[in-house]
Amino acid sequence: MYNKNIKLILATLIVITAIWQFTDKNIGNGIALLLLAGMFILLYFKNEIIILAFFKLRKQDFDGAKKLLDKIKNPEAALVRKQQGYYNYLNGLMLSQTNLTLAEKHLKKAVELGLNMDQDMAMAKLNLAGIALTKRRKMEATQLLNEAKKLDKHNMLKDQITMMKQQLKKI
């Protein structure tokens, strides 16, 4: 994994080389170099390790995802703000299976930093509501469930939200 600043420097150098290739009438080389620079710019906004960790989580490989996320040594310096949010989001999802207090900390930080997609934010708030529910904080769980319901525009979490609301009524 390259540092975010190194990615921008490499992209700039490759674009300069592409311009030089265009001026030398090597149009094919210039286009190929621009595509390569585009990859570095894409990886500036979408961290490659976080993408791979998402794929591991999709396959329910929590250990593999944790190993990948552990490769990011200093997330505050190596990642942009939204990537830090997803870093904490993924850590929170994995820790919600074992350590609820630490998972709550990571998920709250992810919500604070922000996530790109409303569906991801709804999932984070739903998990936070579940943690609040297990810790018997009914008001906080109700508030988080309502926020998750507003963010769930495609009704993908509808069943989980209704199930959690039923559990809230039992408390």
pTM assigned to the model: 0.82
Closest C-alpha among 101, 100, 96, 99 to residue 123: 96
Closest C-alpha among 117, 62, 102, 107 to residue 87: 107
Determine the residue type at 112: E
How many domains does the structure of the chain reveal?
2
Q: Which two tokens stand for residue 18?
A: 């592409």
Whether residue 39 is found in the same domain as residue 77: no
| Predicted local distance difference test score (pLDDT) of residue 2 | 65
| Predicted local distance difference test score (pLDDT) of residue 76 | 87
Select, from the ranges 22-26, 154-158, 161-165, the one with the highest average predicted confidence (pLDDT): 22-26
Answer for the pair 128, 115: CB distance below 8 angstroms, yes or no. Answer: no
CA-based end-to-end distance of the chain = 47
Whether residue 63 is found in the same domain as residue 139: yes
Whether residue 72 is found in the same domain as residue 151: yes
Task: Say if residue 132's pLDDT is above 80.
Answer: yes
The domain containing residue 54 runs over which residues? 47-170
Whether residue 83 is found in the same domain as residue 35: no
pLDDT digits (tens, 9 = 90+) for 37-76: 999 999 888 888 999 999 999 999 989 999 999 998 888 8
Answer for the pair 164, 130: CB distance below 8 angstroms, yes or no. Answer: yes
Q: Which two tokens stand for residue 44?
A: 């500036």
Whether residue 130 is found in the same domain as residue 150: yes
Domain CATH code at residue 97: 1.25.40.10
Whether residue 32 is found in the same domain as residue 70: no
Whether residue 36 is found in the same domain as residue 95: no
Answer for the pair 127, 93: CB distance below 8 angstroms, yes or no. Answer: yes
Whether residue 41 is found in the same domain as residue 60: no
pLDDT digits (tens, 9 = 90+) for 72-126: 888 888 888 999 999 999 999 999 888 999 999 999 999 999 998 999 999 999 9
Of 36 and 157, more confident: 36
Task: Say if residue 1's pLDDT is above 60.
Answer: no
Whether residue 64 is found in the same domain as residue 139: yes
Whether residue 40 is found in the same domain as residue 52: no
| Predicted local distance difference test score (pLDDT) of residue 170 | 83
Whether residue 39 is found in the same domain as residue 3: yes
29-43, 121-135, 156-170: the lowest-pLDDT one: 156-170
